[in-house]
């Protein structure tokens, strides 16, 4: 399938760029620092919670906050990865070459999406390695860990879908990055607004990606949250295909 060929090309292109390596290194350093700080906090609390009933465990006090912080930090970083997906092709005037190639718009969008998604999943694996290292000195709640990994994977897949769609609209990668960051931050603000307005804000809370993310981080894997992320991702991928198809018809 051509989509996988395009995805492989996108992934190789990312690793040829110093930006991708810089992002991998910086994110790992920041999250490793937060992980160690949370571990230190847990060790400080351990004597106090030792005698408590239903005391939070190592997964609740270290792993869940780590994935929570990772979601926020990657909200800032993902636009840098998605900004060039389509807008750079347009800026370099190579988009016309893609339109003349024997490949459908759906395959182009899927290929671009799967390429950046593969890079983001590498980051998820690197982040997951930190809590796995805790097995050297204690136990983990593997159910909650799996829910955290699933939550971060779905969140990043959603971020990538939004970034790809905005990149398909933008003429310049920088504009795409700033617009994607604004859109993702808007989802954050919707969640804040929902908490402040009370009962009438149920719809806004439901639309918030972070609300569903936080629900999954607690280990509450519900079909509502899964369906939200899947529909969210599909909606932005379909919009991206339509945007690219409109561009092709105007050429």
Q: What is the pLDDT of residues 216-246, one digit of tens each?
A: 998 888 999 999 999 999 999 999 999 988 8
- Beta strand spans in the chain (E): none
pTM metric for this prediction: 0.90
What pLDDT was estimated at residue 205?
76
Length of the chain: 251
3-state secondary structure 129-185: HHHHHHHHCCCCCHHHHHHHHHHHHHHHHHHHHHHHHHHHHCCCHHHHHHHHHHHHH
As a whole number, mean pLDDT of residues 99-126 equals 92
First-residue to last-residue Cα distance in the chain: 25
What pLDDT was estimated at residue 45?
82
In sequence order, which residues have a C-beta less than 8 Å from that of residue 212 and are 6 or more positions away? 224, 225, 228, 229
More confident position, 2 or 184 = 184
pLDDT category of residue 64 using cuts at 50, 70 and 90 = very high
Picking from 43, 51, 72, the residue whose alpha carbon sits closest to that of residue 155 is 72
In sequence order, which residues have a C-beta less than 8 Å from that of residue 18 and are 6 or more positions away? none
pLDDT category of residue 196 using cuts at 50, 70 and 90 = low
Q: Is residue 78 predicted with pLDDT exceeding 90? A: yes
What pLDDT was estimated at residue 241?
94
In sequence order, which residues have a C-beta less than 8 Å from that of residue 10 and are 6 or more positions away? 85, 111, 112, 114, 115, 116
Could you tell me what percent of the chain has a pLDDT over 90? 53
More confident position, 91 or 128 = 128
As a whole number, mean pLDDT of residues 130-147 equals 88
What pLDDT was estimated at residue 153?
96
Task: Judge whether 108 and 98 are in contact, CB under 8 Å.
Answer: yes
Say which range, 146-155, 172-181, 241-250, has the weakest mean pLDDT: 241-250
pLDDT category of residue 210 using cuts at 50, 70 and 90 = confident
> What are the structure tokens assigned to 136, written together?
């050297």
Q: Is residue 157 predicted with pLDDT exceeding 80? A: yes
pLDDT category of residue 22 using cuts at 50, 70 and 90 = very high
Report the SS3 class of residue 2.
Answer: helix
Query: How high is the mean pLDDT of the chain?
Result: 88
């Amino acid at each position: 399938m051509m989509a996988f060929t395009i995805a492989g090309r996108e992934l190789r292109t990312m690793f040829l760029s110093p930006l991708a390596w810089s992002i991998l290194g910086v994110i790992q350093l920041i999250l490793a620092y937060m992980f160690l700080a949370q571990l230190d906090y847990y060790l400080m609390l351990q004597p106090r919670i030792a005698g408590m009933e239903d005391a939070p465990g190592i997964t609740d006090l270290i792993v869940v906050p780590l994935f929570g912080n990772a979601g926020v930090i990657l909200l800032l970083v993902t636009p840098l990865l998605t900004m060039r997906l389509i807008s750079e092709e347009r800026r370099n005037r190579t988009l016309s070459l893609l339109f003349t190639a024997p490949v459908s718009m759906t395959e182009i969008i899927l290929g671009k999406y799967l390429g950046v998604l593969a890079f983001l999943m590498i980051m998820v694996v690197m982040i997951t390695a930190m809590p796995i290292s805790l097995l050297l000195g204690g136990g983990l709640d593997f159910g909650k860990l799996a829910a955290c990994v699933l939550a971060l994977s779905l969140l990043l897949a959603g971020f990538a879908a939004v970034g790809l769609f905005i990149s398909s609209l933008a003429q310049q990668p920088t504009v795409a990055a700033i617009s994607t960051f604004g859109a993702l931050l808007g989802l954050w603000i919707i969640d804040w607004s929902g908490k402040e307005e009370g009962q009438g804000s149920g719809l806004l809370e439901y639309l918030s990606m972070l609300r569903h993310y936080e629900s999954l981080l607690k280990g509450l894997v519900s079909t509502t949250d899964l369906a939200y992320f899947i529909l969210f991702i599909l909606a932005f991928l379909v919009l991206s295909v339509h945007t690219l198809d409109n561009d092709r018809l105007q050429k």
